[in-house]
Amino acid sequence: MDNVRVRFAPSPTGYLHIGGLRTAVYNYLYARQHNGKFLLRIEDTDRTRFVEGAIENLIRSLTWSGIEIDEGVMMEGGEVVEKGDCGPYIQSKRLDIYKKYVDQLLESGHAYYCFCTKERLDALREEQKIKGKVPRYDGLCRGVSMEEAKERIANGEDYVVRLKLPHDRDISFEDEARGTITINSNEMDDQVLMKSDGFPTYHMAVVVDDHLMGITHIIRGEEWLPSTPKHVYLYEALGWEVPTYIHLPGVLNSDHKKLSKRQGDVSVEDFRGHGYLPEGLVNYLALVGWSPEDNQEIFTMDELIKAFDTKRIAKTGGVFDVKKLDWVNSHYMKELSTDELLEMAMPYIEEAGLFTKEDVEKNPEHYRVLMETIQDGLDRLEQVPEACGFLYDEYDVTEEAALEQLKSESAPKVVTGLEEILGEMDEITLEDAGKLMKQVQKASGVKGKNLYMPARAAMTGNVHGPELSNIIYLLGKEEILKRLEKAKGYFA
């Protein structure tokens, strides 16, 4: 396939939604698979919804996710810039371009001026609802001649420009993920193309932009499916070639409803804040609405690019399952080096007040072992402070199984053995920690579970947890002796 050009075209209305990121990911995979170009365009014609800083956030979220923008709106030196030959790539800068094509449609008879007031349209809609009809414009102004229209405009009347759809005509298009889709024009509305403020509607702007920017494949959410026949008709009316459409299923919550803020986190920023890795989030999102042939679940970006197939995009919404996301992300957490894990987790660690970068510089081995000790149990970075709790929380034994161990017959022997061996040591090295339990076995005459379970309960207050030798090294002699003293209070 030659010269594939796709675009991601969000509105700057806030943070990038997780469903928006998935659309961007699918566009990016398709472009890279076909050695094509990925464009970022900003659709900001609805100025009432514009949010300051949203464009910067969008670009930051895409960059963090590993999506490279080839053309369009990007950041350079902290500034929003536009790069490419098809600019401007921000719709509010393209008003003259849209006006030119709206005029062309008016002249060719594919569009008309409409002078209906908001009051008339509201009343019409209300009346149609009462009669059980689908609310749509009744075509009153279709009969207004061009001459009369120009006179009314000259007299200062407000107007919009509407698309003049043909009567009773089947409009068909091919969807690469769904096959042929046909909708009759009688089921559609004479869409407004230009609003009274001179700004185009989404429908007008999107067709003009996609054509002038050479977009070959439009990969977007299924909410645009009902509008696509209008877009197809607009291409025809303007004498342009229709691009290939690929409509994506929605991203749903566990109730199979559209994922929305009311149910919790929905923005890329939220997930980033919880300490998900970009590789984990992108890998998981790719699987929400698309399934590979061989049920593989863990993919690098390069593997996704090779495996992605639009024919395997689902026709029904994909449920966003946080537990599954955690599982995928934990795979990438395990792949981090201890240094990477420590560096990425530092903001969470410092916020929890556990230790600082200066502490790490003074004793790097201690903190490296700490990360190694907790790494396997992590799903995301925000869990690091809690996972370090065995070291920093006030020692207490509340777990039923741990209390049972401390009331066991072997507990006093194990604790006494530990105190004896530790008493003969200075500071515990990692090597010492590895040999300590063998020495306690000799001193106490207790072995196996009867040795390890009470020892763990006495030192950590739990019976399960990370490698015991690492815990011994990390706690250090003074802290262990303090804890053993407290543990005696739980003996039977």
Annotated binding site for ATP: 261
> By the 8 A CB rule, do 260 and 270 touch?
no
DSSP string across 47-105:
GGG--TTHHHHHHHHHHHTTPPP-EEEEEETTEEEEESSS---BGGG-HHHHHHHHHHH
Residues 221 and 313: their CA atoms lie apart, in Å, by 12
Interatomic CA distance for residues 76 and 368, integer angstroms: 35
If phi > 0 it is left, if psi is from -120 to 50 it is alpha, else beta; for residue 477 that is alpha
Q: Sheet holding 170-175: strands in order across?
A: 179-184, 170-175, 244-248, 217-221
The CA-atom distances, in angstroms, between 429 and each of 4, 165, 373 are 60, 81, 15
Does residue 40 contact residue 55 with C-beta atoms inside 8 Å? Answer: no
- Which position has the token pair 């393209």? 94
For residues 116 and 447, give the distance between their C-alpha atoms in angstroms, rounded to a whole number: 90
Binding residues: 261
Q: Report the Cα 105 to chain-centroid distance in Å.
A: 39
Q: First CA to last CA across the chain, in angstroms?
A: 77
202 vs 11: CA distance, rounded Å: 10
> How many helices and strands, by DSSP H and E, does the chain display?
21, 13
SS3 breakdown of the chain: % helix, strand, coil, rounded to 5? 55, 15, 35
Answer for the pair 106, 113: CB distance below 8 angstroms, yes or no: yes
Cα torsion 102, 104, 108, 113 to 10°: value is: 30
One of 129, 150, 257, 261 is an active-site residue; which one?
261
Q: Is 261 a catalytic residue?
A: yes
415 CB-side CA count, 13 A: 25
Residue 490 CA to residue 492 CA, distance in Å, equals 6
445: its two tokens: 């005459």
Q: Which residues are part of the catalytic machinery? A: 261
